[in-house]
Amino acid sequence: MPSLRVEVRCRYTQAGVQTWDPAGGPHDTVYGFITMLTRALSGFERHLRGRPMRWFGIPAGFGGSVSDNEARTYPNAIRLLNHPADRLRSGRRGPFFAEGLRRNLSWSREFFPDLAATLKGRNLPDPIAWILTTENGVGDDFMGHHDDPDSGWVPEALADPRADDPAHLIDGSRTFAQYMRDARTLDGKPIPAYRHRVPLGLPPGRSPLNDESSERYRGALRLCWDYSRELAFNRPARSAFRRDPADTHTLPCGEYQAACDSPWAPVRVRPLTLQHQMGGIFHSDLQMPDWYGGLPNQRPDDAITLGELGWETKANWHRALDQIAPERMRSARSDPDPARVDRAVAVEAQSLVLAAHARSAPHAPLAPFVTDTTGIPVDDMVRYLRAVRALGGWGCCIFMPKPSRESHDYWSSVIPRVNA
C-alpha cells in the first residue's frame, strides 16, 4: 500500500506537487496530505474496485535536524532534539529537549485534529499508520567524551542543573544524571572509564575498547529520541485519530531506525558491541530498524590491521557468529559458493538483530525498512522478511524512491513467497 510523504517545511499545489515555498503553519501540511490523497484516490480508482483506499502517512522532516538558516526560513522546521534553547552552555547538543518539545507539541496539537476532521468531513480514509523519517536520532555521535582532561558534552551535561531536575526526564522516569549513575555493563559491573588513547579510533569513542562508555551516553540519547517523539508526536496523533473511544491504541506510530535494546536481549551492532542501555523502555508502537544489505556497518578487512574482535570486518563478523550461532553458521558454510556463504551470514546477523529488538520490546512489533535499490537478491530478502514475520512483525516499509518495472517485478517475486 502506498505512503503519502508530505514535506512539512513546504507548501503544496492543488495538484499535490511540493513547492519550496515555506509552509505557513500546520494547515499547509494538512493541505498537502489532502491534495496528495485525492490525487492518489483518482489514480488508484480503477484498481480499488469498491475497496477502501489504504495508505500510511510520512510527515517528512517533523522535528528534524535542520540548520539554523533552515529553521529561520521554514516556520514548520522545528527541531525536537538540539533546539538552540535546549543546548548546553557551550552551544553543544545535550540530552535535554524541553523547548523543542514545547514547540513541536504546539504544532502537533493543531495539525492532527485539523487533518482528522478534514478527512472525516470529506469522507476520506484515515491512514493506517504514521511513520516518521526525520533521521534525527543518535547518529554518529562519539563526542560525548573528548581529550584528557575530558571536555566532551557528557561532563558538561552532568554539570548542567537540568541533569538532576525532575522536569527534564530522558525516558519518562529518570533524569540524565540518574540514568548515568544507574548504568552498568552487560555483566552488571560499573562502566569502565573512557580511554582517551587507543590504538585505533578517530575519535577514540569509535574504538571497541570504549564501547561500554560510549554505549552508556548513546543509550541516553536513544531514550531521549524515543520519549521526546512520544510526547511531541505519537500521543497527539493517537488522540486525534481515536475514532472509537474503546480503542486505546488507534493507529500505530514509528520512526525510521528507531528500535529498542535491553540487557536481556542486547542488540549486536558490531561483533562485540551490544546495545543494551535502553533497558526495554520504548514508547513508540513500531520498531523500525533498517536493512539495505550486507553485515551491520561492514568495513573492509584490510581497513583494520589489528584484527581484534570488535571491528566490523567480515572476518570478525564470521568469528563472532561462530560463537553465538554455530549451527546457523555450519548451515551457511555448507554452500560451496563463498559469495552465497557471505550473503547467508549477513541475513543471519540481521535476523539476530531483529530477534533482539523483538525480545527487548515485545509490545512494539517490528516494521523494518527495506529496499530493492541496493541489489539484495530476492532469496535473501525473502529469508529476512520471513524472519520478521516469524517474530510477529507488523509489516515492512519499502524504500522505493522511483517506482519502476524492475522494482515491481522484484517485490512481485518476494511478497508471495514471504506470505506463502
Chain centre to alpha carbon of residue 388: 16
pLDDT for the residue numbered 231? 98
Residue 18 belongs to a domain: yes
**Does position 135 have pLDDT exceeding 80, yes or no?**
no
pLDDT for the residue numbered 31? 97
Cβ(173)–Cβ(153) below 8 Å: no
Select the more confidently predicted residue: 65 or 301.
Answer: 65
E strands present in 248-401: 253-255, 267-268, 274-275, 290-291, 369-371, 397-399
Task: In whole angstroms, give the CA distance from residue 383 to residue 345.
Answer: 12
Select the more confidently predicted residue: 77 or 138.
Answer: 77
E strands present in 297-382: 369-371
Tens digits of per-residue pLDDT, 348-380? 999 999 999 999 999 999 999 999 999 999 999
Residue 103 belongs to a domain: yes
DSSP 140: S
Residue 20 belongs to a domain: yes
pLDDT for the residue numbered 346? 93
Helix intervals (H) in 230-313:
235-240
Average pLDDT of span 91-107: 96
Residue 167 belongs to a domain: no
Residue 239, helix vs strand vs coil:
helix
**Does position 296 have pLDDT exceeding 90, yes or no?**
no
**Does position 249 have pLDDT exceeding 70, yes or no?**
no
Residue 151 belongs to a domain: no
Residue 383 belongs to a domain: yes
Q: What is the pTM of this model?
A: 0.94
**Residue 326 buriedness (CB in 10 A; 0-12 / 13-18 / 19+):** exposed
Tens digits of per-residue pLDDT, 302-322? 666 555 668 888 888 888 899
- Cβ count within 10 A of residue 45: 10
Residue 211 belongs to a domain: no
Residue 180 belongs to a domain: no
**% of the chain surpassing 90 pLDDT:** 70
Instruction: Tally DSSP H helices, then E strands, for the chain.
Output: 12, 11
The structural domain count of the chain equals 1
Domain that holds residue 390: 3-139+224-419
Tens digits of per-residue pLDDT, 255-288? 999 999 999 999 998 888 899 999 999 999 999 9
- Closest CA relative to residue 34, chosen from 49, 50, 55: 55
For 25-34, 125-134, 382-391, which range has the lowest pLDDT when averaged over its residues?
A: 125-134
Task: In whole angstroms, give the CA distance from residue 225 to residue 339.
Answer: 38
